A and B are shown apart, each in its own frame.
Chain A
Amino acid sequence: MTLVLKGVMQSPVTPLKDDFSPDYETFEKLVDFHVRTGATAISWPHHKAESHNLTIPERKKLTEVAIKTVAKRVPISIHVSALALEDTYDLARHAQKAGADAIIAITPYFWKYQPDAIYDYFVDLGTSIDLPLIAYNSPSYLDGIEFTGELTGRLIQRLPNLIGMKEASFNSEKFFEILRAALPLRPNFAMIAGVEYLLPSVSLGGAGSYSSAGAICPNLCVDLYDSCASGNWARARELQYKLSQLWLLFRDQYPSSLKGGCVIMGRPVGPTSPPLPTASPERIKFIEQQLEALGILDSEPHGW
């Protein structure tokens, strides 16, 4: 289990056709675009990939396409979370068979349960496969259900394949509490901010982030990580302020506006599947104005 994650890792959206079925061809182009523009790893399908709106067979097929397209150029992890845990175990087994380098999973959806239930679930999941496992913490989306430092520490001691965490609280105390429990037990444990909040996370000892805006502005993502990693904090601040504005632009009804932004960058990925809205022409126009004001249109690649 020697996979060490760092930098800005990209989690592609899922391109859809007008009937909301997966657009496999465009998906290949998008995954390839991320690998060519600096992604240090690929991870799919996070919630921005509309994971909940895809059927299990669709997820499996797209997983195979993603792994084939990445073709070992960077590590690829598969997000296996589903409402029913039986589906999760199935997706995890499939990811391993398909050749993924790791899996990633969030705390179970919807139900309220004690921390021990999270422990038991991750032990079951982590021991059901022979792959590195990344835990995913998102208390604000799961009504306060979360990993604490204590729980993370216990899991690290139990699971040799628990190599990192996607941490989406965006909160200094929560992030640091998990980090300082994990690193003494596993020095390469990767604390990965949920989106590009690299300035506060890398300064605290984080390994990098996943990404909301990588399909729009990969150069900015790479530049921000490099500035943080090299300790150029003044430059990092300037870039972080810009990237954070993009997150605020995309956050609401995520990934609807993000997919709208892809149209402007010459990389259309189709609509967003219901119940999420698809960005209207007016919304796309507004996003274009924002991207222009932030200088994105001039500094980032256009087209594939």
Chain B
Amino acid sequence: MTAFKFGLVHAPVTPFANGRLDLAGYGSVLDFHLQHGAEALALPMHAGESVSLTVTEREALLEFALSHVKSRIPVIANVSEAGTGIAASLARHAAKAGAAAVIASVPYYWKPPQHMLVAHFLAIAEAGELPLFVLNAPAEMNEVEFASKSVVDLIRRTPLMAGLIDMSLDWQYMIEVITVARATRADFQLVSGAEYMISAAAIGATGMLSPLAGIAPKLIANLYALCMAEKFREARPAQEQAAILFRAVRDAGVAGLKSGIRAMGRNCGAPRPPLRALDATEAKALLAQISAAGVMNSEPRGWM
């Protein structure tokens, strides 16, 4: 059932024009990712300002992406929401629209007990009948973690539970999850939700979710390929470059990601409020970091 293989998945940003979704601009963003190594797209992730979109906009965005990509690569829908019913409804829509899989984080704001988290994800999986990847990002989600026991519980309750995307970067958690999950389902997938691919791949991760591919797709593709070939020593220079970018963009948030993409000659506009664009000083500091990562001259500039 879970034949869907995650692979190297890009997380595109969402452009806005005059405060509204800029679907024409989004088409350019998607084309760029299609041309630069994405094995699949995941949208809209936090990098795509999912939280700042209405449910109607999210559905429109997904439908547009699917019609634009035209099945050249799979599109994975992020259906993370606060309420289980709304998340399940987004999953149902994603399936009808033609998404290949869904991603869901623990609910926003609430701190439910683990059995309610399992019920939340089960409802999403059953509504969409699509492979489900749970996103574990405790630092972003109020320290709520999807416990390894709950991963096993969910695997036992639905064949749709395909894998876990880890953003904790916590070795204890990642190894515990992959150990108990693989013992329950041999083809369970661990995916790195951040561009720290050496340690993740060593642990056994077989996929990577990358917002930074919008800035430096060649670096990300190279890092991913070397790690999948278990050439960890050879991957270290690329990992260093990715680490510099990761920390610069993480500290500056979505505004930083959009500013970085703009520095590469691809203007995706400003983020939607309450986020604000970087001011000139902040943008300059970020540019210095991108230069320090050594990607200014080795990566595609402009939209081609």
| Contact indicator A172/B171 (Cβ below 8 Å) | yes
- Nearest CB in chain B: distance from A233 CB, A: 5
22 A-B pairs whose Cβ atoms sit less than 8 Å apart in the complex: A171-B170, A172-B194, A172-B198, A173-B243, A176-B196, A176-B199, A177-B247, A199-B175, A199-B199, A200-B198, A200-B200, A203-B198, A204-B199, A204-B239, A231-B230, A233-B202, A236-B202, A240-B175, A240-B203, A244-B179, A247-B172, A248-B176
| Contact indicator B199/A172 (Cβ below 8 Å) | yes
A205 touching B236 in the complex, CB below 8 Å, given contacts A173-B243, A200-B199: yes
| Contact indicator A171/B202 (Cβ below 8 Å) | no
Q: Which residues from 179 to 208 on chain B have a C-beta closer than 8 Å to any C-beta of chain A?
A: 179, 194, 196, 198-204
Q: How far is the CA of A258 from the CA of B97 in the complex (A)?
A: 54
* Interchain residue pairs A-B with the least CB separation, the first 5: A200-B199, A203-B202, A172-B196, A203-B232, A172-B169
| Contact indicator B175/A244 (Cβ below 8 Å) | yes
| Contact indicator B171/A176 (Cβ below 8 Å) | no
Identity of the chain A residue whose Cβ is nearest the Cβ of B235 in the assembled complex: A203
Q: How far is the CA of A176 from the CA of B243 in the complex (A)?
A: 8
A241 at the interface (CB under 8 A from B): yes
The interface size of chain B toward A, counting residues with CB under 8 Å, comes to: 28
Q: How far is the CA of A176 from the CA of B178 in the complex (A)?
A: 22
- Nearest CB in chain B: distance from A216 CB, A: 18
- Nearest CB in chain B: distance from A8 CB, A: 16
Q: Which residues of A contact B (CB under 8 A)?
A: 170-173, 175-177, 180, 197, 199-205, 231, 233, 236-237, 240-241, 244-245, 247-248
Identity of the chain B residue whose Cβ is nearest the Cβ of A180 in the assembled complex: B240
| Contact indicator A173/B175 (Cβ below 8 Å) | no
A197 touching B175 in the complex, CB below 8 Å, given contacts A180-B243, A204-B199: yes
Q: How far is the CA of A203 from the CA of B246 in the complex (A)?
A: 19
Q: How far is the CA of A78 from the CA of B36 in the complex (A)?
A: 52
Identity of the chain A residue whose Cβ is nearest the Cβ of B166 in the assembled complex: A172
Mark B211-235 against chain A: 1 for CB-CB distance below 8 A, else 0.
Answer: 0000000000000000000101100
Identity of the chain B residue whose Cβ is nearest the Cβ of A242 in the assembled complex: B179
- Nearest CB in chain A: distance from B141 CB, A: 17
| Contact indicator B169/A171 (Cβ below 8 Å) | yes
Chain B residues whose C-beta falls within 8 Å of the C-beta of A233 in the assembled complex = 202, 230, 232
A172 touching B200 in the complex, CB below 8 Å, given contacts A177-B247, A203-B232: yes
Interface SS of chain A: helix, strand, loop or mixed?
Answer: helix
Q: How far is the CA of A259 from the CA of B229 in the complex (A)?
A: 40
Q: How far is the CA of A204 from the CA of B246 in the complex (A)?
A: 16
| Contact indicator B170/A199 (Cβ below 8 Å) | no
A-B residue pair count with CB separations less than 8 angstroms: 81
Q: How far is the CA of A129 from the CA of B190 in the complex (A)?
A: 46
Q: How far is the CA of A175 from the CA of B172 in the complex (A)?
A: 13
Q: How far is the CA of A231 from the CA of B200 in the complex (A)?
A: 15
A200 touching B202 in the complex, CB below 8 Å, given contacts A180-B240, A205-B236, A231-B230: yes
Q: How far is the CA of A286 from the CA of B199 in the complex (A)?
A: 32
Q: Which residues of B contact A (CB under 8 A)?
A: 168-172, 174-176, 178-179, 194, 196, 198-204, 230, 232-233, 236, 239-240, 243, 246-247
Q: How far is the CA of A197 from the CA of B246 in the complex (A)?
A: 23
- Nearest CB in chain A: distance from B151 CB, A: 14
Chain B residues whose C-beta falls within 8 Å of the C-beta of A204 in the assembled complex = 198-199, 232, 236, 239
| Contact indicator B199/A177 (Cβ below 8 Å) | no
Chain A residues whose C-beta falls within 8 Å of the C-beta of B204 in the assembled complex = 237
Chain A residues whose C-beta falls within 8 Å of the C-beta of B240 in the assembled complex = 180
| Contact indicator B199/A170 (Cβ below 8 Å) | no
| Contact indicator B196/A170 (Cβ below 8 Å) | no
Task: Give which listed residue, A173, A205, A237, A244, contacts B196 with CB less than 8 A.
Answer: A173
Chain B residues whose C-beta falls within 8 Å of the C-beta of A201 in the assembled complex = 171, 199
| Contact indicator B236/A241 (Cβ below 8 Å) | no
- Nearest CB in chain A: distance from B187 CB, A: 15
Q: How far is the CA of A202 from the CA of B236 in the complex (A)?
A: 12
Q: How far is the CA of A205 from the CA of B171 in the complex (A)?
A: 15
Q: How far is the CA of A247 from the CA of B230 in the complex (A)?
A: 25
A173 touching B246 in the complex, CB below 8 Å, given contacts A199-B203, A204-B199, A237-B204: yes
| Contact indicator B230/A197 (Cβ below 8 Å) | no
Chain A residues whose C-beta falls within 8 Å of the C-beta of B179 in the assembled complex = 241, 244-245
Q: How far is the CA of A245 from the CA of B183 in the complex (A)?
A: 13
| Contact indicator A177/B232 (Cβ below 8 Å) | no
5 additional contacts (CB under 8 A) given A173-B246, A200-B200, A204-B198 = A200-B175, A200-B198, A236-B202, A241-B179, A244-B172
Identity of the chain B residue whose Cβ is nearest the Cβ of A228 in the assembled complex: B202
Identity of the chain A residue whose Cβ is nearest the Cβ of B169 in the assembled complex: A172
Q: How far is the CA of A2 from the CA of B201 in the complex (A)?
A: 33
- B198, B201, B202, B232: residue with the most chain A Cβ atoms closer than 10 Å: B202
Identity of the chain A residue whose Cβ is nearest the Cβ of B240 in the assembled complex: A180
Q: How far is the CA of A237 from the CA of B170 in the complex (A)?
A: 16
Chain A residues whose C-beta falls within 8 Å of the C-beta of B199 in the assembled complex = 172, 175-176, 199-201, 203-204
Q: How far is the CA of A177 from the CA of B202 in the complex (A)?
A: 18
Chain B residues whose C-beta falls within 8 Å of the C-beta of A173 in the assembled complex = 169, 194, 196, 243, 246-247
Task: Give which listed residue, A170, A171, A241, contacts B178 with CB less than 8 A.
Answer: A241
Q: How far is the CA of A40 from the CA of B199 in the complex (A)?
A: 24
